[in-house]
């Protein structure tokens, strides 16, 4: 299978919720075109930012269906669906459904309850899912900070490359640049390595990375597009400046409680996705007012995505 790599930014969309914390599927077409308008090339749905672990099996399927309709309607934003990671049986169901819906690819995260002890065990788990959709690209989502599975990806990629013909690459959400570079260079750069830490994308670009998946690409895609443009023309000072602005923006996530602040950013740019389900902390109205003052003080209005 020829791997069609992602060269650019893939947003990890938030799952839109209504005031009762039910999934608001109706806003997804608007969300899709919002990403498309702002230069995003892909959407990684049902992941960490998308509250995948907090959604029911049926909700994840319905969300995948809603995004697939946008893709089929001459959409330019490709869709990667995270099909799960604790039950390979459930993952297989979601993988087959993703294929039937015509999605672009699937992703699998490491089992985070009964954890694999080795690269062989992890590869065997991913293969069980990937072989159910032999014509579909399969990505592995490496995020040890949430799964607790810290197997070196260089070892994993060497194993799975021999046993899963439709393996496409890794969404790499970790800070181990040495391991990332080994994966990036494996077999002459055969696989698609997507960087998953928005706050240090510049470091990954230096190693040869061409694509990335992240939450802040939802609401600040122009910032990162300008960063890559500066890097490509050799203006490293400007690239560093833009990376620092990214860091300043991301620091607000921690200041206001973490992941829930991402939806506050979406509200700020005009696409209200509601709030996160518990136990993720959401901003109160008072906190949001203070948050807006902090965002305005960054003075990066022209670097946010526009509706």
- Annotated catalytic residues are 141, 171
Instruction: Provide the token pair at 253.
Output: 């996530």
Distance CA 32, CA 13 (A): 9
Do residues 20 and 28 make contact, with C-beta atoms less than 8 angstroms apart? no
- Cβ burial, residue 124 (10 Å; 0-12/13-18/19+): middle
3-state helix vs strand vs coil in the chain, percent to 5: 50, 15, 40
> What are the residues whose beta carbons fall under 8 Å from the beta carbon of 98, sequence distance 6 or more?
64, 81, 83, 106, 133, 136
Strand partners, 213: 10
Instruction: Provide the token pair at 63.
Output: 């969300």
Q: What is the largest CA-CA distance in the chain?
A: 54
- Secondary structure (3-state) at 107: strand
Which phi and psi (to 5°) does residue 171 adopt?
Answer: -85, 110
- Secondary structure (3-state) at 169: strand
- Chain centroid offset of residue 214 CA: 5
Instruction: Provide the token pair at 162.
Output: 């021999």
Instruction: Provide the token pair at 45.
Output: 């749905």
44 sits in which H/E element: strand 42-45
Which phi and psi (to 5°) does residue 57 adopt?
Answer: -55, -45
Cβ count near 131 (within 10 Å): 15
């Amino acid at each position: 299978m020829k791997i069609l790599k992602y060269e650019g930014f893939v947003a990890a969309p938030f799952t839109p919720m209504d005031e009762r914390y039910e999934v608001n599927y109706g806003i997804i077409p608007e969300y899709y075109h919002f990403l498309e308008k702002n230069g995003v090339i892909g959407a990684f749905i049902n992941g960490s930012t998308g509250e995948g672990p907090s959604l029911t099996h049926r909700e994840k399927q319905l969300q995948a269906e809603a995004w697939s309709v946008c893709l089929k309607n001459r959409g330019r934003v490709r869709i990667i669906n995270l099909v799960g990671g604790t039950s390979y049986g459930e993952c297989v169901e979601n993988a087959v459904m993703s294929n039937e819906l015509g999605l672009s690819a699937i992703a699998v995260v490491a089992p985070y309850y009964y954890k694999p002890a080795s690269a062989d065990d992890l590869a065997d788990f991913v293969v069980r899912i990937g072989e159910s959709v032999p014509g579909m690209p399969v990505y592995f989502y490496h995020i040890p900070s949430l799964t607790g599975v810290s197997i070196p990806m260089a070892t994993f990629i060497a194993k799975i490359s021999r046993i899963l013909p439709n393996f496409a690459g890794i969404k790499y959400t970790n800070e181990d640049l040495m391991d990332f570079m080994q994966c990036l260079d494996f077999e002459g750069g055969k696989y698609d390595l997507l960087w998953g830490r928005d706050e240090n994308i510049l470091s990954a670009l230096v190693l040869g990375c061409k694509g990335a998946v992240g939450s802040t690409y939802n609401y600040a895609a122009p910032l990162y597009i300008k960063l890559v443009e500066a890097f490509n023309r050799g203006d490293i000072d400007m690239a560093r400046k833009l990376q620092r602005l990214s860091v300043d923006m991301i620091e607000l996530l921690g200041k206001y409680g973490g992941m829930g602040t991402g939806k506050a950013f979406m509200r700020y740019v005009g696409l209200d996705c509601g709030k996160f389900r518990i136990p993720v902390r959401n901003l109160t109205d008072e906190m949001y007012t203070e948050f807006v003052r902090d965002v305005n003080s960054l003075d990066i209005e022209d670097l946010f995505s526009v509706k």
